[in-house]
Amino acid sequence: MKKIRKAVLPVAGFGTRVLPATKSIPKEMLPVVDRPALQYVVDEAFEAGIEHIVFVTGRNKGAIEDYFDRAYELEATLHQKNKSGILAQLQKGLPGPGTTSFVRQQSPQGLGHAVWCARDVIGDEPFAVLLPDVLVKSEPGCLKQMIEAYEQKGGHIIAVNPVPKDQTDKYGVIAPISQEGNIYKMSAMVEKPDPKDAPSNLSITGRYILQPEIFKFLEEQKPGAGNEIQLTDAMEKLMGTKPMEISVFHAVEFKGDAHDCGSKLGYFKAVCAYAIDHKEIGEDARGVIREICHLLE
Protein backbone atom coordinates (compact mmCIF):
# COMPACT_ATOMS: atom_id res chain seq x y z
CA MET A 1 0.00 0.00 0.00
CA LYS A 2 1.51 3.29 -1.10
CA LYS A 3 1.79 6.15 1.37
CA ILE A 4 -0.33 9.27 0.89
CA ARG A 5 2.38 11.83 0.13
CA LYS A 6 0.61 14.45 -1.97
CA ALA A 7 -2.53 16.53 -1.66
CA VAL A 8 -4.48 18.58 -4.21
CA LEU A 9 -6.09 21.85 -3.12
CA PRO A 10 -8.42 23.30 -5.81
CA VAL A 11 -8.23 27.08 -5.33
CA ALA A 12 -9.28 28.39 -8.74
CA GLY A 13 -12.94 29.17 -7.96
CA PHE A 14 -14.42 32.67 -8.11
CA GLY A 15 -16.11 32.55 -4.70
CA THR A 16 -19.41 33.83 -6.06
CA ARG A 17 -21.32 32.91 -2.90
CA VAL A 18 -19.34 35.44 -0.85
CA LEU A 19 -19.24 38.31 -3.34
CA PRO A 20 -18.51 41.21 -3.29
CA ALA A 21 -15.73 40.40 -0.78
CA THR A 22 -14.08 38.09 -3.29
CA LYS A 23 -14.07 40.56 -6.17
CA SER A 24 -10.42 41.39 -5.47
CA ILE A 25 -9.46 38.88 -2.76
CA PRO A 26 -9.33 35.12 -3.38
CA LYS A 27 -12.03 33.49 -1.29
CA GLU A 28 -9.40 31.16 0.16
CA MET A 29 -7.55 34.19 1.56
CA LEU A 30 -10.47 35.59 3.54
CA PRO A 31 -9.25 35.82 7.15
CA VAL A 32 -10.57 33.50 9.83
CA VAL A 33 -9.48 35.35 12.99
CA ASP A 34 -5.76 35.98 12.29
CA ARG A 35 -4.91 33.89 9.23
CA PRO A 36 -6.42 33.05 5.84
CA ALA A 37 -8.89 30.19 5.71
CA LEU A 38 -6.49 28.38 3.37
CA GLN A 39 -3.79 28.29 6.04
CA TYR A 40 -5.94 26.04 8.23
CA VAL A 41 -6.36 23.57 5.35
CA VAL A 42 -2.63 23.55 4.58
CA ASP A 43 -1.86 23.00 8.27
CA GLU A 44 -4.29 20.07 8.30
CA ALA A 45 -2.52 18.51 5.31
CA PHE A 46 0.98 18.80 6.76
CA GLU A 47 -0.21 17.55 10.17
CA ALA A 48 -1.44 14.40 8.41
CA GLY A 49 2.02 13.76 6.94
CA ILE A 50 1.51 15.24 3.48
CA GLU A 51 4.87 15.99 1.88
CA HIS A 52 3.79 17.97 -1.19
CA ILE A 53 0.77 20.18 -1.87
CA VAL A 54 -0.49 20.91 -5.37
CA PHE A 55 -2.47 24.16 -5.57
CA VAL A 56 -4.72 24.27 -8.64
CA THR A 57 -5.07 28.00 -9.27
CA GLY A 58 -6.68 30.36 -11.74
CA ARG A 59 -6.56 34.00 -12.75
CA ASN A 60 -6.17 36.62 -10.01
CA LYS A 61 -4.95 34.04 -7.49
CA GLY A 62 -1.37 35.33 -7.23
CA ALA A 63 -1.97 36.31 -3.60
CA ILE A 64 -2.03 32.63 -2.68
CA GLU A 65 1.40 31.94 -4.11
CA ASP A 66 2.79 35.11 -2.50
CA TYR A 67 1.34 34.19 0.88
CA PHE A 68 3.13 30.83 0.96
CA ASP A 69 6.46 32.45 0.07
CA ARG A 70 9.01 34.38 2.11
CA ALA A 71 8.36 38.10 2.69
CA TYR A 72 11.92 39.28 3.26
CA GLU A 73 11.17 42.97 3.78
CA LEU A 74 8.44 42.23 6.31
CA GLU A 75 10.57 39.67 8.13
CA ALA A 76 13.51 42.06 8.29
CA THR A 77 11.29 44.82 9.71
CA LEU A 78 9.86 42.53 12.37
CA HIS A 79 13.37 41.37 13.28
CA GLN A 80 14.62 44.97 13.62
CA LYS A 81 11.69 45.83 15.89
CA ASN A 82 12.24 42.70 18.02
CA LYS A 83 8.78 41.38 17.23
CA SER A 84 10.03 37.83 17.45
CA GLY A 85 6.64 36.32 18.31
CA ILE A 86 4.93 37.55 15.17
CA LEU A 87 7.99 36.67 13.08
CA ALA A 88 7.92 33.11 14.42
CA GLN A 89 4.24 32.80 13.49
CA LEU A 90 4.95 33.93 9.93
CA GLN A 91 7.79 31.48 9.48
CA LYS A 92 5.93 28.58 11.10
CA GLY A 93 3.17 28.67 8.47
CA LEU A 94 5.55 28.51 5.51
CA PRO A 95 5.84 25.24 3.54
CA GLY A 96 9.40 24.01 3.09
CA PRO A 97 11.34 24.56 -0.14
CA GLY A 98 10.08 22.33 -2.94
CA THR A 99 7.00 21.13 -1.05
CA THR A 100 4.44 23.06 -3.12
CA SER A 101 3.44 23.21 -6.79
CA PHE A 102 1.09 25.62 -8.53
CA VAL A 103 -0.88 24.31 -11.52
CA ARG A 104 -3.14 26.54 -13.59
CA GLN A 105 -6.75 25.62 -14.33
CA GLN A 106 -7.24 27.91 -17.29
CA SER A 107 -11.03 27.81 -17.33
CA PRO A 108 -13.65 27.05 -14.64
CA GLN A 109 -14.76 23.57 -15.69
CA GLY A 110 -15.55 22.12 -12.29
CA LEU A 111 -13.94 20.31 -9.38
CA GLY A 112 -13.27 17.17 -11.39
CA HIS A 113 -11.40 19.16 -14.03
CA ALA A 114 -9.39 20.96 -11.32
CA VAL A 115 -8.26 17.63 -9.84
CA TRP A 116 -7.43 16.32 -13.32
CA CYS A 117 -5.17 19.36 -13.89
CA ALA A 118 -2.88 18.03 -11.13
CA ARG A 119 -2.38 14.63 -12.77
CA ASP A 120 1.23 15.10 -13.91
CA VAL A 121 2.39 16.30 -10.50
CA ILE A 122 0.56 13.51 -8.65
CA GLY A 123 1.77 10.75 -10.99
CA ASP A 124 0.98 7.10 -10.29
CA GLU A 125 0.27 7.26 -6.57
CA PRO A 126 -2.71 7.77 -4.26
CA PHE A 127 -3.39 11.31 -3.13
CA ALA A 128 -5.66 13.47 -1.01
CA VAL A 129 -8.05 16.20 -2.10
CA LEU A 130 -8.96 18.94 0.38
CA LEU A 131 -11.56 21.53 -0.56
CA PRO A 132 -10.41 24.87 0.87
CA ASP A 133 -14.01 26.06 1.26
CA VAL A 134 -14.42 23.57 4.10
CA LEU A 135 -12.61 24.02 7.41
CA VAL A 136 -12.76 21.03 9.72
CA LYS A 137 -12.09 21.87 13.36
CA SER A 138 -10.88 18.66 14.95
CA GLU A 139 -8.05 17.00 16.87
CA PRO A 140 -6.46 15.14 15.25
CA GLY A 141 -7.19 16.76 11.90
CA CYS A 142 -9.77 15.28 9.56
CA LEU A 143 -7.22 14.16 6.96
CA LYS A 144 -5.12 12.44 9.59
CA GLN A 145 -8.19 10.48 10.70
CA MET A 146 -8.83 9.53 7.08
CA ILE A 147 -5.25 8.36 6.51
CA GLU A 148 -5.53 6.11 9.58
CA ALA A 149 -8.61 4.53 7.95
CA TYR A 150 -6.80 4.28 4.61
CA GLU A 151 -3.97 2.36 6.26
CA GLN A 152 -6.57 -0.17 7.42
CA LYS A 153 -8.73 -0.41 4.29
CA GLY A 154 -6.83 0.99 1.30
CA GLY A 155 -8.79 1.99 -1.78
CA HIS A 156 -10.66 5.29 -1.75
CA ILE A 157 -11.73 7.16 1.38
CA ILE A 158 -14.41 9.87 1.70
CA ALA A 159 -14.99 11.99 4.80
CA VAL A 160 -18.59 12.13 6.02
CA ASN A 161 -20.48 13.58 8.94
CA PRO A 162 -24.08 13.05 10.06
CA VAL A 163 -26.74 15.67 9.35
CA PRO A 164 -30.38 15.80 10.52
CA LYS A 165 -32.38 13.21 8.61
CA ASP A 166 -34.90 15.78 7.43
CA GLN A 167 -32.12 17.82 5.78
CA THR A 168 -30.56 15.25 3.47
CA ASP A 169 -31.99 17.12 0.48
CA LYS A 170 -29.34 19.79 1.09
CA TYR A 171 -26.34 17.45 0.83
CA GLY A 172 -24.73 14.63 -1.04
CA VAL A 173 -24.93 11.47 1.08
CA ILE A 174 -23.49 7.98 0.86
CA ALA A 175 -25.18 4.59 0.62
CA PRO A 176 -23.45 2.38 3.21
CA ILE A 177 -23.18 -1.40 2.89
CA SER A 178 -21.50 -2.29 6.17
CA GLN A 179 -19.95 -0.59 9.17
CA GLU A 180 -16.85 -1.16 11.34
CA GLY A 181 -16.67 1.49 14.02
CA ASN A 182 -16.62 4.84 12.25
CA ILE A 183 -15.71 3.33 8.85
CA TYR A 184 -18.41 2.45 6.32
CA LYS A 185 -18.04 0.42 3.16
CA MET A 186 -20.19 2.18 0.59
CA SER A 187 -21.93 1.35 -2.67
CA ALA A 188 -23.02 4.74 -3.99
CA MET A 189 -23.26 8.49 -3.52
CA VAL A 190 -26.63 10.20 -3.84
CA GLU A 191 -26.89 13.93 -4.46
CA LYS A 192 -29.49 15.76 -2.32
CA PRO A 193 -31.98 12.90 -1.87
CA ASP A 194 -35.47 13.43 -0.53
CA PRO A 195 -35.36 12.53 3.21
CA LYS A 196 -37.80 9.65 2.73
CA ASP A 197 -35.55 8.14 0.03
CA ALA A 198 -32.12 8.93 1.49
CA PRO A 199 -29.90 5.83 1.96
CA SER A 200 -28.31 7.46 5.03
CA ASN A 201 -27.83 10.79 6.75
CA LEU A 202 -24.03 10.75 6.26
CA SER A 203 -23.18 13.80 4.21
CA ILE A 204 -20.07 14.03 2.06
CA THR A 205 -17.57 16.60 3.35
CA GLY A 206 -14.80 18.18 1.27
CA ARG A 207 -12.08 15.62 1.97
CA TYR A 208 -11.09 12.65 -0.22
CA ILE A 209 -8.32 10.08 -0.59
CA LEU A 210 -8.23 8.79 -4.16
CA GLN A 211 -6.28 6.27 -6.21
CA PRO A 212 -4.57 7.53 -9.40
CA GLU A 213 -6.97 5.52 -11.57
CA ILE A 214 -9.45 8.36 -11.02
CA PHE A 215 -7.55 10.45 -13.58
CA LYS A 216 -8.55 8.14 -16.43
CA PHE A 217 -12.21 8.52 -15.51
CA LEU A 218 -11.85 12.30 -15.13
CA GLU A 219 -10.25 12.54 -18.55
CA GLU A 220 -13.23 10.78 -20.12
CA GLN A 221 -15.87 12.41 -17.92
CA LYS A 222 -18.51 14.50 -19.69
CA PRO A 223 -19.86 17.70 -18.08
CA GLY A 224 -22.61 17.07 -15.55
CA ALA A 225 -24.40 19.34 -13.08
CA GLY A 226 -23.78 23.01 -13.81
CA ASN A 227 -22.24 21.98 -17.14
CA GLU A 228 -19.04 21.18 -15.22
CA ILE A 229 -16.89 18.07 -14.89
CA GLN A 230 -17.91 16.67 -11.51
CA LEU A 231 -15.56 14.66 -9.31
CA THR A 232 -18.46 12.65 -7.87
CA ASP A 233 -19.55 11.53 -11.36
CA ALA A 234 -16.09 10.09 -12.03
CA MET A 235 -16.00 8.42 -8.61
CA GLU A 236 -19.36 6.77 -9.22
CA LYS A 237 -18.10 5.33 -12.51
CA LEU A 238 -14.94 4.04 -10.85
CA MET A 239 -16.86 2.51 -7.95
CA GLY A 240 -17.37 -1.20 -8.46
CA THR A 241 -15.12 -1.60 -11.51
CA LYS A 242 -12.39 -4.23 -11.63
CA PRO A 243 -9.88 -4.90 -10.16
CA MET A 244 -11.64 -4.43 -6.86
CA GLU A 245 -8.57 -3.18 -4.99
CA ILE A 246 -8.70 0.11 -6.91
CA SER A 247 -12.48 0.57 -6.89
CA VAL A 248 -13.51 -0.05 -3.27
CA PHE A 249 -14.80 3.06 -1.49
CA HIS A 250 -15.05 3.59 2.25
CA ALA A 251 -16.38 6.54 4.19
CA VAL A 252 -14.97 7.78 7.49
CA GLU A 253 -17.25 9.51 9.97
CA PHE A 254 -14.67 11.94 11.34
CA LYS A 255 -14.67 13.48 14.80
CA GLY A 256 -14.92 17.25 14.49
CA ASP A 257 -16.98 20.14 13.18
CA ALA A 258 -17.06 21.14 9.51
CA HIS A 259 -17.60 24.76 8.47
CA ASP A 260 -18.53 25.78 4.93
CA CYS A 261 -16.63 29.02 4.41
CA GLY A 262 -17.93 29.25 0.85
CA SER A 263 -21.21 30.73 2.13
CA LYS A 264 -21.64 33.99 4.04
CA LEU A 265 -23.31 32.42 7.05
CA GLY A 266 -20.90 29.47 7.09
CA TYR A 267 -17.95 31.86 6.98
CA PHE A 268 -19.37 33.86 9.88
CA LYS A 269 -19.88 30.68 11.90
CA ALA A 270 -16.31 29.56 11.20
CA VAL A 271 -14.88 32.87 12.39
CA CYS A 272 -16.84 32.60 15.64
CA ALA A 273 -15.86 28.94 16.19
CA TYR A 274 -12.16 29.60 15.74
CA ALA A 275 -12.22 32.88 17.68
CA ILE A 276 -13.67 31.42 20.88
CA ASP A 277 -10.91 28.77 20.99
CA HIS A 278 -8.05 31.10 20.03
CA LYS A 279 -5.27 30.91 22.60
CA GLU A 280 -4.78 34.69 22.69
CA ILE A 281 -8.25 36.18 22.25
CA GLY A 282 -10.55 33.24 23.03
CA GLU A 283 -11.84 34.50 26.37
CA ASP A 284 -12.41 38.03 25.07
CA ALA A 285 -14.07 36.67 21.93
CA ARG A 286 -16.55 34.70 24.04
CA GLY A 287 -17.30 37.89 25.95
CA VAL A 288 -17.94 39.81 22.74
CA ILE A 289 -20.30 37.12 21.48
CA ARG A 290 -22.17 37.17 24.79
CA GLU A 291 -22.57 40.95 24.47
CA ILE A 292 -23.95 40.62 20.96
CA CYS A 293 -26.37 37.89 22.07
CA HIS A 294 -27.54 40.13 24.91
CA LEU A 295 -28.35 42.87 22.39
CA LEU A 296 -30.61 40.44 20.55
CA GLU A 297 -32.73 39.69 23.60
pLDDT range class, residue 180, cuts 50, 70, 90:
very high
Encode pLDDT of 268-289 as tens digits: 999 999 999 999 999 999 999 9
**How confident is the model over 193-247, as pLDDT tens digits?**
899 999 999 999 999 999 999 999 998 887 777 777 889 888 988 887 766 666 7
Q: Can you give the pLDDT at residue 240?
A: 73
Give 6-296's CATH code, choosing from 3.90.550.10, 3.60.70.12, 1.10.1740.10, 3.40.640.10. Answer: 3.90.550.10
Quote the pTM value: 0.91
Sign of CA dihedral 76, 97, 92, 39: positive
Three-class SS state of 90: helix
User: Quick one: how far is CA 255 from the chain centroid?
Assistant: 15
Mean pLDDT for 250-263 is 93
Three-class secondary structure of residue 237 per DSSP: helix
